[in-house]
Amino acid sequence: MNSDFSINNDDIIVGLDIGTSKVCVLIVATDSSRKSLNILGIGLADSDGLRRGVIVNIDKAVRSIQQAVALAEQQAGIKVKDVVVGIAGDHIHSFATRSIISISNPTKEISHADVQRLLEEARRIAIPSDRRILHVIPQDYIIDGQDGITDPIGMSGVRMEANVHIVTALVTAMQNIHRCVERAGLTVSDLVLEPLASSAAVLDEDEKEVGVALIDIGGGTTDVAVFHEGIIRHTAVFAIAGHQVTDDICNVLGILNVQAERIKREYGHALQESIMRDEVFMIPGIGGRKPLEVTKSLLCQVIQPRMEEIFEFAYAEIKKSGYADRLFAGVIVTGGSALLRGTDELAHNVFGRPVKIGIPSAMTYGGLAPEVESPMFATAVGLVMYGLRARNTIIEESTEDVATKKPSLFRKVKSFFEDL
């Protein structure tokens, strides 16, 4: 543990990634500047009770969460209460809309309160009763017909509009996450769309500015996020991911799921051309049967078609965004399935763009940092970074409110990525 950190509860941020294949908990402490993180504890547990990113068994999910939290707390030497939690699943929907208000300020100068009111107006849009708005993310602003404005505060006008990206989720899915976390003895401080969290961990500002797509391939779902000019333009989640790859191996080779997962990790390749030297490996027979001989190339013949399908689905989502031709920073692939050898090469073949594997590196962190420098920790690290950003903004809000008595910037930022 870094001796420069004097820890109290206000300095602790906890990220909880409840995935289909694993539950990951990160406990971090902020330094005195609240700009860097010291990773104190990491908890990993096999996930149970989830299917395709959605909780289907409360009791099993609670046990998985408790196990991961206990491991992280033991390593950190502290007890935690509040957690920033990720949400995914193919129930996630997003769409674009426009919000309009008039400026009532006598000076016609746009304030933080006006921006807040504009984004609150966007929340009034009619959505099905079984859904709830998770995030309202402004794309750009229009003032008296002048478009392309990214920060309207301080400008003058009588009419302000905003193009916004709205993310919704099933009410029941959100409630089940809250219920599981609370039964595990914790409190949800924020609920964050997982591709937003992952992008915070593995993308830098320059990539977001020139145009980049993030593809996070987990166990149960694949998440897509498209950025251009520093703004998120499109998000999507679909239920084809690493578990389907494992299932294919089970079905073709006639082996157990645990065996398929093991050989996928140890010998799996996503592209035939990435196999530098083919080799034979043995899989123990079931029920006293003879061991099964399999080659890397044969295993790849099973894996590659499914990985191609995942990237083709992701490419379709990128095309929906309208920014497929403006991704000058290419594509970043992250998540546990990105660890398959040849994944970046296969993705390059599908997208025709530069591709790299996304590893959490967008912050200064210490302590157990080397342990989380892997694509499988992208969401958990991003959740912690989200928590740090929100914590810092609260401090800015307090300072600003005392000094100027103006409406706080926190409300504006929280509206960007606010969960109800």
- End residue of a domain, out of 255, 275, 305: 305
- pLDDT confidence bin for 74, thresholds 50/70/90: very high
Give a yes or no: residue 125 inside a domain: yes
In a domain, 347, yes or no: no
Percent with pLDDT over 70 in the chain: 87
CA angle 111, 115, 119 (to 5 degrees): 165
Tokens of 57: 């068994």
What CATH number is given to the structural domain containing 129?
A: 3.30.1490.110
Mean pLDDT, residues 380-399: 71
Residue whose tokens read 């965004």: 321
* The predicted structure's pLDDT at residue 368: 55
Residue 265 in domain: yes
**Looking at 24-33, 170-179, 321-330, 342-351, which range is the least confident one?**
24-33
Model confidence at 34: pLDDT above 60 = no
| Spatial CB neighbours of 52, under 8 Å, sequence gap ≥ 6 | 20, 89, 90, 220, 221, 239
- What's the whole-number mean pLDDT along residues 398-405? 40
Number of domains in the chain: 2
- Is the confidence at residue 401, as pLDDT, over 60? no
pTM of the entire predicted model: 0.86
In the beta sheet, which residues pair with residue 167? 94, 135
Query: What confidence tens digit (pLDDT) does each residue in 262-312 have?
Result: 999 999 999 999 999 999 999 998 888 899 999 999 999 999 999 999 999
Only one residue has tokens 């991961």, namely 68
Strand partners, 37: 30, 365
Of 151, 169, 187, which marks where a domain is finished?
169
Per-residue model confidence as pLDDT tens digits over 237-246: 999 999 999 9
Q: What is the mean pLDDT of residues 397-402?
A: 42
The residue from 261, 285, 305 where one domain ends is 305
Across 337-362, average pLDDT: 92
Stretch 319-343: mean pLDDT = 95
Flag whether 199 is in a domain. no
Nearest by Cα to 209 from 333, 329, 325:
329
d(CA 334, CA 214): 8
- Residue 63: HSE in the Cβ half-sphere, 13 Å Cα cutoff: 8
| Mean of the per-residue pLDDT values of the chain | 88
* Greatest pairwise CA separation for the chain in angstroms: 84
User: Percentage of the chain with pLDDT > 90?
Assistant: 77
Instruction: Give the H or E element holding residue 136.
Output: strand 131-143
| pLDDT at 389 (0 to 100) | 80
Is 47 contained in some domain? Answer: no
Domain membership of residue 12 (yes or no) is no
CATH number, residue 263? 3.90.640.10
Q: Where are the beta strands (DSSP E) in 206-349?
A: 212-217, 222-228, 231-238, 280-283, 292-295, 331-334
DSSP of 278-293, one letter per residue?
--EEEEPPGGGPPPEE
Tell me the CA distances in angstroms from 383 to 28, 191, 196, one per residue in order.
11, 9, 9
* Res 360: pLDDT: 87
pLDDT of residue 416: 37
- Residue 348, in any domain of the structure: no
Domain that holds residue 251: 242-305
The pLDDT of residue 392 is 63
pLDDT range class, residue 408, cuts 50, 70, 90: very low
Q: pLDDT, tens digit, for every residue of 184-223?
A: 999 999 999 999 999 999 999 999 999 999 999 999 999 9
